[in-house]
Amino acid sequence: MVLRLKIKRQKDAEQAYYQSFEIPYEEGMTLLTALQKIKEDFDPSLSFRHFCRAGICGTCTLMVNGFPRLACKEQILPYALFNEELTIEPLKNFAVLKDLVVDKERIIKKQKDLGLWIKERSKHLPINPELSKKIEKSADCILCLACQSYCPQVLEEDYAGPLFFAKIYRLYEDPREEEKPLRIKQAVREGKLYHCLSCNKCNLVCPKEVEPATLIRELMQVMDVGS
């Protein structure tokens, strides 16, 4: 079997073009191993990010036929079986540095601006298993950016985006955050929570089932956004 891929290549937006490859399918191949094969055997200049190869680090996210996917978790057997060409593009809503590598600086800066970590720790508030389960969803986020790339609002008027509100939810539930009401209010205001359309697109593409849209709806209720 042969796998057909059409990959978007670019050094900057003006020079973008698509390059087609055909590679032999190998048992158990993922999209990441296919890209590595192309780099090793066909074109060493192809650029993409990866690290853990196990769906943990969140660095390998790409657009696959228009949907954000973790390359290391994407099995390509069905595409090879049905001779379907795969279109591979860099994440949407991000500036491209080269080929499939996007600029994540804006995300890192926004995390710092919104202060998405527990600042005040209370020693006397242990987290029981029930609460731990509630926090789990938000804590499972691997910063893969799939939700940010699929959200129709992230380029709107500084809307922080689903990833950030999934993190902010953690502050809301975690009893160790002592300045909770003030910090959540600040983050929700600065991140412009009210721009969320509740369209659920972020829920659909999150590989860790964090369900940012669901967490955002809970935050909206407690903050009474829009009233």
Q: Is 206 in the site for ligand SF4 (CB under 6 A)?
A: yes
Task: Summarize as ranges the residues that interact with ligand FES (CB under 6 A).
Answer: 50-53, 55-60, 70, 72
Residue 4 is which amino acid? R
Residue ranges of alpha helices (H) inside the chain are 31-41, 77-81, 105-114, 129-139, 146-150, 162-173, 180-191, 201-205, 212-223
Tokens found for residue 150: 């699929």
Tokens found for residue 127: 């987290």
Of residues 11, 2, 146, 126, the one with CA closest to residue 67: 146
- Looking only at the bridges linking them, the beta strands covering 67-70 and 86-89 are unpaired
Q: Is 36 in the site for ligand SF4 (CB under 6 A)?
A: no
| Smallest separation, CB 57 to ligand FES (Å) | 3
Among 163, 168, 171, 188, binds ligand SF4 (CB under 6 A): 163
Interaction mask 109-138, ligand SF4, x per CB under 6 A? ------------------------------
Interaction mask 208-227, ligand SF4, x per CB under 6 A? x-x-xx--x-----------
Q: Which residues are at the interface with ligand SF4 (CB under 6 A)?
A: 141-147, 151-153, 162-163, 166, 196-202, 206, 208, 210, 212-213, 216
